[in-house]
């Protein structure tokens, strides 16, 4: 059974993550938003501290956890609150401070989550302590990951990769990039595998950094792979192509990373709500939880509606993470959490901006402070790791028991 309170063993972690968000991220948030592509050096020491916490506690923290269901039994009846739950709780707090700075923490990338989920024990040991980004999107295929054209051809002890990858979060600063490529285009999604490519590998070239609407403190890179030779030991998961299993091997990564992105949206939404509550109270508008919304001011009624959406997104995110910790299939719940939280983050950020009026729209340090920045940051959380529309499609397939060919 899932419990709705923060587990006692994670309360200290949550408090520490909130302290980091408040005392480290918030003071430098505007600085690195304005100085796009500048490396936030303040995060290096913080990342080392997080590494130490994760090593000591063994429960993840604010870093990348993995969905490794084979390591424990699904049927022993015990309730486990493990690394997946602790990670989303930590991320919620850190993203209350700043989403982009959370994404910029060394060794906490989405590629690290992929490695943690799929790698074998030898790979886990070999890539330990390295910062890994994840490269999926290509110029001709955005939401349809199954349409990937980057190819991987086995040549002796290496795979030769050719293709192009765009919108790689933390791709410039990371040490490794987990690249999705197909072993055989004619076999469709079943042939798609993920490969760990080390920066500096010949044939793996960074071609540009993107200028973005939001999360400007986080770098987003584009890469070209031209006859890039990757050791076959860097393939994550089985090299065998199983047409019946299809996309399941690489898609297991999303069961982990989608709740992480949902947690980012939940943290950002709460930051917006906290700031808007302060502004409403300063304007003399009371939010009374003892009265129906219809009996209060329009602003208070809107705020109560946003809080309800926020709470639904938060609980769905916790459920998806808890299911991963307890080795239960969570693909449906991961997509539900991502869809609800992504949409809620955008809607809450824009509505809070509207309620704050001109004060919220300005970049000034006074008044609403970061509301306009959070509104810009929010949109990406409804896009990457699968757009809102893709999540709804996945949910419909799961609920109706339809294949991707049957329901497009």
Just list the catalytic residues: 385
What does the alpha-carbon distance between residue 341 and residue 375 come to, in Å, rounded to a whole number?
Answer: 14
What does the alpha-carbon distance between residue 178 and residue 145 come to, in Å, rounded to a whole number?
Answer: 14
Q: How far, in whole angstroms, is CA 311 from its chain's centroid?
A: 19
The set of residues, in sequence order, having a beta carbon less than 8 Å from that of 301 and lying 6+ positions away, is 293, 294
Please state the length of the chain: 408
Q: How far, in whole angstroms, is CA 80 from its chain's centroid?
A: 22
- Burial class from Cβ neighbours inside 10 Å (0-12, 13-18, 19+) for residue 211 reads exposed
What does the alpha-carbon distance between residue 309 and residue 333 come to, in Å, rounded to a whole number?
Answer: 16
What does the alpha-carbon distance between residue 255 and residue 252 come to, in Å, rounded to a whole number?
Answer: 5
What does the alpha-carbon distance between residue 310 and residue 94 come to, in Å, rounded to a whole number?
Answer: 16
The secondary element (H helix, E strand) that includes residue 131 is none
- Burial class from Cβ neighbours inside 10 Å (0-12, 13-18, 19+) for residue 18 reads middle
What does the alpha-carbon distance between residue 327 and residue 340 come to, in Å, rounded to a whole number?
Answer: 23
């Amino acid at each position: 059974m899932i419990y709705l309170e923060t587990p006692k063993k994670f309360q200290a972690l949550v408090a520490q993550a909130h302290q980091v968000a408040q005392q480290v991220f918030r003071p430098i948030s505007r600085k690195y938003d304005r100085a796009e592509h500048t490396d936030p050096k303040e995060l290096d020491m913080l990342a080392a501290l997080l590494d130490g916490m994760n090593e000591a506690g063994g429960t993840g923290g604010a870093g990348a956890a993995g969905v490794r269901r084979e390591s424990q039994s699904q049927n022993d009846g015990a309730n486990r609150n493990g690394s997946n739950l602790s990670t989303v709780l930590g991320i919620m707090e850190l993203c209350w401070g700043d989403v982009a700075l959370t994404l910029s923490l060394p060794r906490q990338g989405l590629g690290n989550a992929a490695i943690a989920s799929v790698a074998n024990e030898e790979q886990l040991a070999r890539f330990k302590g390295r910062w890994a980004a994840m490269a999926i999107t290509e110029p001709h295929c955005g939401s349809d990951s199954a349409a990937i054209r980057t190819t991987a051809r086995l040549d002796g002890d290496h795979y030769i990769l050719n293709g192009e990858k765009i919108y790689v979060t933390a791709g410039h600063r990371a040490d490794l990039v987990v690249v999705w490529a197909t072993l055989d285009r004619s076999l469709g999604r079943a042939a798609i595998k993920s490969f760990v490519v080390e920066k500096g590998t010949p044939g793996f070239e960074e071609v540009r950094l993107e200028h973005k609407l939001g999360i400007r403190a986080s770098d987003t890179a584009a890469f070209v792979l031209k006859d890039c030779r990757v050791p076959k030991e860097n393939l994550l998961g089985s090299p065998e192509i199983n047409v019946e299993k299809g996309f399941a091997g690489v898609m297991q990564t999303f069961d982990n990373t989608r709740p992480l992105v949902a947690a980012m949206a939940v943290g950002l939404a709460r930051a917006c709500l906290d700031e808007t509550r302060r502004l409403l109270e300063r304007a003399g508008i009371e939010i009374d939880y003892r009265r129906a919304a219809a009996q209060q001011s329009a602003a208070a009624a809107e705020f109560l509606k946003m809080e309800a959406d926020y709470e639904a997104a938060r609980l769905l995110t916790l459920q998806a993470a808890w299911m991963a910790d307890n080795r239960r299939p969570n693909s449906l719940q991961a997509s539900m959490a991502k869809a609800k939280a992504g949409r809620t983050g955008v809607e809450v950020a824009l509505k809070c901006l509207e309620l704050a009026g001109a004060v919220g729209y300005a970049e000034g340090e006074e008044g609403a402070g970061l509301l306009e920045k959070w509104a810009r940051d929010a949109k990406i959380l409804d896009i990457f790791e699968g757009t809102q529309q893709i999540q709804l499609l996945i949910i419909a397939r799961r609920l109706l028991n339809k294949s991707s060919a049957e329901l497009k």
